[in-house]
Amino acid sequence: MAWLKFLDNSFDNIFSDKRRSIIERYTLFTSILGFIIHLILIYLNNYNMLNISFSGSLLDDPISAIYTPFSIILFYETYLLIYYLPGSFTTAISKQFEIISLIVIRKIFSDIPKINLNANWLENSPNLQLIYDLLGILILFFLIYLFNLRKEKNPVKPITDSIKRFISTKKGVSIILLPLLIIMSIYSVSNWIYEIYLVNENVKSINVSNINSVFYNEFFTILILADVFILLLSFQYTEKYSQLIRNTGFVICTILIRLSFAAKGITNILLIVSSVLFGLIILRIYQAFEKNI
């Protein structure tokens, strides 16, 4: 069909190797530049040359400067997630797991300046949060390794005409997601900066959003809707029970990740770990089901 061919050509142009290479270079450049600017702001603030009541202690300690390049790299990883979405649902969910693990690592760099080494670690909330995050990232790293190892054992199936149409339709979803990614990132960051500005104008009633959930809170909400839409489209191209359950399970993984942004403390880490663990178990059962068939 003509419209499917149009989607294929548009996707190939937007996500071409050349464009991805350009975006990768700009990501590296802006990461370095952002790191340097963040360091300068920290030292200006520490020497009272910059008076900003910044939340999250991101302008108190040089270690916090690592937060900025991580945020830029995370944006590039989100771009890659959209790129992988049409090819394989399993690869796309794996990329989601990698993104949320990087968000946890980024959060560690923003929380380190809050640590009180003289306090009782079991009674100090920031200290406990650091322990939760460190243990959580170790578990996540191992579970993602197992998931990717298991992913490579997925059966290779021939690409039929119906599968090609399904892939073309998913490319249309990716094309829609890309401008949404750009618009939401600009809106989220500008809105957060505006909240900071209001706080510094002595508007005490304003509640500043948690910087760790800026953009990704909204993005994973949109991603859930995209995953559900792809799930509904898959009913047209496959009636296999195992694939439908697997895809539904992966949607649940995305929902658990989205819920983690609204949770704090150990609940936040438990939701993220349970998402990856649930995805790993779903994938393992799916492969056993396919093998028996």
| Parent domain of 250 | 2-292
Q: Of residues 174 and 116, which shows the higher confidence score?
A: 174
Model pTM score: 0.85
Q: Please give the tally of structural domains in the chain.
A: 1
Residue 256 has pLDDT above 90, yes or no: yes
Can you tell me the mean pLDDT for 183-200?
A: 72
Q: Note the pLDDT tens digit of each residue in 80-93.
A: 999 988 888 889 99
pLDDT, position 227: 87
Share of the chain above pLDDT 90, in %: 27
Ordered DSSP codes for the chain:
-HHHHHHHHHHHHHT-HHHHHHHHHHHHHHHHHHHHHHHHHHHHHHTTSS----GGGTTT-GGGGGHHHHHHHHHHHHHHHHHHTTT-HHHHHHHHHHHHHHHHHHHHHHHGGG--TTS-TTT-HHHHHHHHHHHHHHHHHHHHHHHHHHHTTSPP----HHHHHHHHHHHHHHHHHHHHHHHHHHHHHHHHHHHHHHHHTT-TT--PPPGGGTTHHHHHHHHHHHHHHHHHHHHHH---HHHHHHHHHHHHHHHHHHHHTT--HHHHHHHHHHHHHHHHHHHHHHHHHHHH-
Residue 136 has pLDDT above 90, yes or no: yes
Give the confidence band of 197 by pLDDT, cuts at 50, 70, 90. Answer: low
